[in-house]
A and B are shown apart, each in its own frame.
Chain A
Amino acid sequence: MNPYLILGVPPEADDSTIRRAYLTAVKEAPPDTHPQRFQAVSAAYDQIKDEPSRRRHILFDRECPGDSPLDVLRQFARARRSAPLPFEPMKEYLRNCWKS
């Protein structure tokens, strides 16, 4: 999955922003309680921690975020699992489910 997405930073983020996001993510997902998430966060940080890494990521990234379009959706939602829908979109979501 896209390292920017995992760390929740925009592509134009600088080193210090990325570092801060990484530390926050690690704090939220320490290796002893969230080993998989921690691994993903560490790998993401390694890919974009400084300018040369970010350029290399642009040129040579080959990581596929899923096996099929729907798997991408699933992986994407999983990657964002720690961020639930805000209240208003959640309200909208439930009302849509009612109508369906």
Chain B
Amino acid sequence: MNSESLTNPDAAALLERQVQTFLAGGKFRKARDEAKLLRKLDPARGLPLLIRANVGLARDMMAKRQVSEAEQVLAYLATIASPAELVAVQAEMAGHTGNFSEAAPGALRRLAEAGASLPESERWRLADLAVVAFGGLPTGDPATERVVVELRAIQDALRAVTEREWGAAQDALRPLPQSSAFSHWKLFLKGLIAFHQDDMVRAARCFAGLPSETLPAKAGVAYQWLLGTGDGPAARALPAESTIESASRLAGHPGLGRVLYRAEQLWRERKPGPSYGAVRDGLAQFPSERPDLVGALTDFYFNSLFNAAPPICERLAEWFDRWLEQRKPGHALERALMLRALSQFYLGSVSAIELKLNWHGFIEAYEMVHGPDPRLASLAYGWLGEQLAAAPPREAIAFFGRPQAMFDSAGAVAALERSVNLDPLNLEAALRLCDVYEALRRPSERNRLLDAMVEQFPENKAVLLRAARRCVDRKAFAKGLDYLARARALDLLDPGLIHQTVRALFGQAGEHFKRQRPGAARAALDQVLALAVDQPANLACGRWCLLTRRAAIEEALGDPALADDLLAQARVSCPAPEALLLYAHLAQLASQRARTHQSTRFSREFVSRHLKSASARHALLLLRIQEFWAGLEDEESPTHLDDPLVRQYLAAAQKTPFTDDEARRLAEHVRPESASFHAVTGFARRVLARDPKHPWFRLFQLTSQDFGLEGGAAETRELEAIVEEANRRGDAETAQRAQGLLDRPPSPDSPFPPPPETWMDPKDDEAEDEEMGRGGLPAGFDQLDPNAAGQIEEIIALLGRLSERELQKTRKSMLKSGMPALVFDTLAEAARGGGPVPDLSPTLKPKPPESKPPPRDPNQLDLF
């Protein structure tokens, strides 16, 4: 606006419009300049606008943290505006300069004098200032008395909340009217109470209802974020750094906002290592084991290896690895935590030596921080021993090689022995060591350990039972029975102890018979009968079973005439004569320690008298008897010889009338790996022949296919039809099971995982054809271990000896254990005589080892 235009009579109106436009656009400096001109032309119109422009300018400066400049503007304002007009902006200024107490009395007065007539935003600002001043409240001034009472209520409630006096807080707030200038504080405090009392819905409602320009609304943002309600993009968005800082303050850790903001940003960018670095560099106390926020962040980063999605946890592990290699960990605790996490993360994918180095490094570093703790070290070495004693991770072709029983047997023994030495009371480690000795066929060490354990844990049932079992194994029956008696004194009702006692007594009797001491043998057998129970279904201790076992031992080693008497007694309580004969036959084979197929008079009688009258009703009992003997300890169990007996019976029973329920009970009972499984499926086929829509048997047939469920369209249709038919017949259980199969996610163990990543990708087919066309081997062969190549002929010969059914079963289990189908099928084809033995050696490519860092300083650590 130039001087010429000022002479224009409309200039004032024009200026006024311009000032208004600038004010509306937030251009306070320009508005102020124009308002100054207007004031010269027309003071009555210019002054209010000049005051507004300066107030806006001061606020703008405060928002930009230009506090001293804002103070100058306020000083100027004080020369042109009345004090009442400036209370609100001065209050804001007080917030920035920290002079709350100076500004508060003015704010209270203004609220008292003109509260109702003030614009809402100004009322809120004045009320907020009065609250955060937290000063002593003026008394005896009638003008401000009402406002002071309300303010006191807010302050009392706030104090009560911080002291967890929820009731007192609510009582303090109750008298505050809705029209109060502090009503937004009332709402905020109600939200706080709800938040701390776990009422998330109410808390969220209160915080969301706060007027946005107010201080409680600003304070409530962090609470709202902590509530974390909602799942939309807004809830997932990265909050402002100031919100994170506020939330950190609420969590009792002010000053973490910037670090956490950066760490979160990097984490969201899938850079877990740098995110860890940001926290590590930003927080001096990190990592920490204290139960505070830093401790929680420590747990988060180190345990993310086990919880984060694969790419994240792998990157983080690689990052830790690199740090360890570069020897960056600043202190022992960080090193200990990294080694602990990496040892467990890489379990199964690193060599035994690396596992030992990492774990030993962890124990060493941990003890540097906390001092030696033999019990902790014992537990740690016990775990290491357990891992080393476990079966090694299966490579694709490992099935065909000679499988290793343990990952590192020598390491396992060393670690477990160390564990037991560090803490002789570490029962778990001692039991594990006992198992390892057992597996390594080191009986003398095992027995010594068991004797020591019995001394160390004289009242531990598990130890006594195990010691007893091994005594019985080595025919030290008296000692074994002594241990068992001690164990039974601790727990009379434990069926495991009773079964073991029965086993020991029968063993002892057999031994006595062999040494021509029938009296002693029968004394032992009498003790067995004292343990009998009148439960025909109890195959271990039922009276007829024990009588039959005793008869079998008499038949084999003692007096056959007495055996007949005993069998006659057994028949009284036995549910089926064929069951008794099968039981006696298996018991006799056991007592003779039979290792080849033998018939007994019981098996002959079984075949001659009962095959013709076989029935599905008794077939289930026979299956159970067979399983019972199969479940006994190896030396006793002769069932591998006797599958034909039960299979023949099942085959005969199929030809007789049977009910659906009988067939169903058999099918439910038999395990797919049982040799009788095929015979039992015959029952299912017959049921389906007479009732082709029977849903339960259709489902059984579908799920018992050689290859299991493949997830094809035909299978889906069949499952849908089963669901429909089951619902129609009111068979909710079958409908639910079939529906469950329809809804199931693809199993990670399934040999038929979903396309396209790993299986049946059309591109794979093309690549395979191309590979075969070149006269080479299928693509799957590149996963073979080259060490296995020399064994190919042996493998093919082995496969060649299998029946087609056995071949299919082997295929199924091999695919489950990770072998590529192409590899197996090619070998199987060669085994069937379909082709010459392939020369694998030139084409086998060993799978490149995963990029794991080499062991750290293996020469510097003397392990085991």
A residues at B contact (CB < 8 Å): 1-2, 4-5, 8-11, 34, 37, 51-52, 55-56, 58-66, 68-70, 72-78, 80-87, 89-100
Contacts and interface: CB of A to CB of B under 8 A. Distances in A.
A94 B375 contact: no
Given A2-B291, A69-B300, A94-B131, A76 B251 contact: yes
A42 to B, nearest CB: 16
Interface of B is mostly: helix
Given A90-B158, A93-B250, A95-B95, A62 B307 contact: yes
Nearest to B158: A90
A72 B832 CA distance: 59
Contacts of A4: 291
B164 A84 contact: yes
Which 4 pairs show the lowest CB-CB distances between chains A and B? A4-B291, A5-B291, A64-B307, A69-B263
15 contacts: A55-B375, A58-B376, A60-B344, A62-B307, A64-B304, A65-B300, A70-B244, A72-B297, A82-B198, A85-B250, A91-B132, A93-B246, A94-B132, A97-B215, A100-B242
A98 B300 contact: no
B290 interface: yes
Contact of A34 (B161, B162, B196, B198): B198
B513 interface: no
B228 interface: yes
A77 B306 contact: no
Interface of B: 95-96, 98, 100, 128, 131-132, 134, 158-159, 161-164, 192, 195-196, 198, 215, 218-219, 225-226, 228, 238-239, 242, 244, 246-252, 254, 256, 260, 263-264, 267-268, 275, 279, 289-293, 295-297, 299-300, 303-304, 306-308, 340, 344, 366, 373, 375-376, 379-380, 383
A61 B565 CA distance: 62
B158 A78 contact: no
| From B196, B250, B383, residue with most partner A Cβ within 10 Å | B250
A73 B249 contact: no
Contacts of B279: 69
A16 to B, nearest CB: 18
B383 A59 contact: yes
Given A59-B383, A74-B225, A90 B162 contact: yes
Contacts of B132: 91, 94-95, 98
Given A61-B303, A63-B303, A87-B159, A97 B246 contact: yes
A59 B267 contact: no
A87 B163 contact: yes
B296 A62 contact: no
B379 A56 contact: yes
Given A82-B196, A94-B215, A61 B242 contact: no
A64 B306 contact: yes
B230 to A, nearest CB: 13
B243 to A, nearest CB: 10
A57 B589 CA distance: 50
Contact of B299 (A9, A63, A82): A63
B246 A1 contact: no
| From A69, A73, A83, residue with most partner B Cβ within 10 Å | A69
B300 A64 contact: yes
Given A68-B268, A69-B300, A98-B132, A5 B247 contact: no
Contacts of A34: 198
A1 B293 CA distance: 10
Contacts of B218: 97-98, 100
Given A5-B295, A65-B300, A81-B196, A73 B247 contact: yes
Contacts of A10: 290-291
A5 B297 CA distance: 12
B267 A69 contact: yes
Given A69-B297, A73-B256, A77-B247, 13 more contacts: A2-B295, A2-B296, A5-B291, A5-B295, A55-B373, A56-B379, A64-B300, A72-B300, A74-B247, A83-B164, A90-B162, A97-B219, A97-B246
Nearest to B426: A52
Contacts of B344: 60, 62
Contacts of B293: 72-73, 76
B368 to A, nearest CB: 14
Contacts of B238: 70
Nearest to B249: A93
| From B95, B226, B291, residue with most partner A Cβ within 10 Å | B291
A86 B421 CA distance: 50
Nearest to A63: B303
A34 B300 CA distance: 25
B152 to A, nearest CB: 15
A65 B296 contact: yes
A65 B414 CA distance: 36
Contacts of A80: 251-252
Nearest to B242: A100
| From A34, A72, A80, residue with most partner B Cβ within 10 Å | A72
A71 B653 CA distance: 64
B249 A59 contact: no
Contacts of A84: 161-162, 164, 192, 196
B299 A98 contact: no
A56 B248 CA distance: 31
A9 B291 contact: yes
B303 A5 contact: no
A69 B242 CA distance: 16
Contacts of B300: 64-66, 69, 72
A40 B163 CA distance: 24
A2 B96 CA distance: 39
Contacts of A51: 375
A60 B132 CA distance: 47
Given A95-B95, A98-B215, A5 B296 contact: yes
Nearest to A66: B300
A99 B95 contact: yes
Contacts of A52: 375, 379
Contacts of B290: 10-11
Contacts of B158: 87, 90
A59 B363 CA distance: 9
